[in-house]
Copies of this chain bind each other. A is one copy, B any other.
């Protein structure tokens, strides 16, 4: 058999092992793994790692917030940055705001993504208004459309659902086989802390960290887990940032509950001290949950190693440090009206590889599992995405494990205008990214066009299979 493209001589890495093999690609799919394969086109991968491309499962792209802001990245810039960072698939959010229908929401995001993305994509549906119609008609319709993960917020006045609504959504999700995701922070605690800080005139960006105490995360994660247990539905806690929160996920898992956890590079590499900068500079490091401390980083790494977290995502939330983003409310705005979030879709994998594999914390198969395979499994994409199996989409990232680089906004290819990881040195970088057998990025050059990426209807969540 002759192949359209052969990736030759690389060291293949999957979530379970490493082996030398050529990969034969035909019609965009992996048609063969073997030795001595020939194809019309050949990529010489000798000395390099050949891995399933990363799946970025937590990113805010072309997303408008309830208060009117719009992320700095659209599907083109967002997916390009992802591709440069070794990803071949993205699952941003489609956010229902109150008063909007779910179908309307999905149509809107389809219009934003279609023809724009260079990578295949799906959305998690953010549900902020679970009306009767949403619960009984629109969520089932979304599910049929291949949207099989629903995200809820326990904080943010305009987004949060109350506990009974949370149970309603879990119940519908369970019935259809969708996975519920949750941003877990206690709204009341945040409000109470915020009120007291503002009352004392403590409005600088750094006070954002105090306004979102670790106990607010611990509380909300416990509550969310209790609700998932009541319904016996699976639940994924996004962006876990505290030792206490991680321990709750671990304990629930240990006890047999279908509770999953995600953490993010910012909680592994940055601390709240990064917010303690003059003027508004600290605002670049504002995100929710906020950055914690050094001791927390160590515990989170330990949880990654122990299997508490299935995914490490970027939570890419790009807002520029100007009036279109963080400074929309002026240069003296209190932390309460500064957009939360930071970019990172391009930096996630190089940081995780360099600090994880390079520092001996992770094996290479662990890296593949955390960056790609587990997300594919959780979000209904395996084995189409997330692995190097026969029949899978040829979504492949080729890495030079010895390449050295420095993270900088200049090499991130997004529109945020800054990187919170500016200056971090990394060893190991993606050099080629293939999407369905097509070069998206190769040795620094962008090849794929906006629109190459297609919408991915996803299968239902199936923890046992």
Chain B residues with Cβ below 8 Å from A17 are 373, 382-383, 386-387, 389
Total A residues in contact with B, Cβ cutoff 8 Å: 70
**CB of A324 within 8 Å of the partner chain:** no
Which of B16, B195, B305 contacts A14, CB < 8 Å?
A: B16
Chain A 12-27 interface mask (CB, 8 Å, partner B; 1/0):
1011111111001000
| A33 B35 Cβ-Cβ under 8 A | no
* Interface of chain A, main secondary structure: mixed
Q: Is A307 among interface residues, defined by CB-CB distance under 8 A?
A: yes
Among B219, B226, B305, B464, contact of A226 (Cβ-Cβ < 8 Å)? B219
Nearest CB of B to A360, in Å: 6
Contacts of A369 in B (CB 8 A): 16
Q: Measured between alpha carbons, how far is A127 from B255 in the docked complex, in Å?
A: 36
**B-contact bits for A229-248, CB 8 A (1 contact / 0 none):** 11000000000000000000
Query: Taking CB as reference atom, which chain B residue is nearest A258?
Result: B305
A203, chain B: closest CB distance, angstroms: 19
> Complex Cα distance A169/B383, Å?
43
Whether A230 and B254, one on each chain, are in contact in the complex, defined by CB atoms closer than 8 angstroms, is no
Q: Given contacts A17-B387, A254-B254, are A192 and B168 in contact (CB under 8 A)?
A: yes
The answer to whether B167 touches A189 (Cβ under 8 A) is: yes
A330 interface residue per 8 A CB criterion: no
Cβ of A209 within 8 Å of any chain B Cβ, yes or no, is: no
Inter-chain contacts of A270 with B (CB < 8 A): none
Beta-carbon contact of B16 and A16 below 8 Å? yes
Among A33, A166, A302, residue most surrounded by chain B Cβ atoms (within 10 Å): A33
- Cβ of A31 within 8 Å of any chain B Cβ, yes or no, is yes
The distance in angstroms between the C-alpha atoms of A306 and B389, with both chains bound, is 26
Residue A253 at the B interface, CB < 8 A?
yes
In the complex, chain B residues whose CB is within 8 Å of the CB of A373: 16-17
With A20-B390, A250-B254 already in contact, 19 other A-B pairs whose C-beta atoms are closer than 8 Å = A1-B36, A14-B389, A17-B382, A17-B387, A18-B383, A24-B34, A32-B33, A33-B390, A162-B188, A163-B186, A186-B223, A193-B230, A215-B227, A215-B230, A219-B223, A219-B227, A255-B302, A360-B464, A361-B464
The answer to the question of A187 belonging to the interface, with a C-beta cut-off of 8 Å to chain B, is: yes
The 4 closest A-B CB pairs, nearest first, are: A163-B188, A32-B34, A21-B390, A19-B389
List 30 A-B residue pairs with CB atoms under 8 Å apart, sorted by A's residue number: A12-B390, A14-B16, A15-B16, A16-B16, A16-B387, A17-B386, A19-B391, A21-B390, A24-B34, A33-B389, A35-B391, A162-B188, A163-B188, A163-B189, A167-B189, A168-B192, A186-B226, A189-B226, A215-B226, A215-B227, A222-B223, A222-B226, A223-B223, A250-B254, A253-B306, A254-B306, A254-B308, A360-B464, A361-B464, A364-B465
Residue A439 at the B interface, CB < 8 A?
A: no
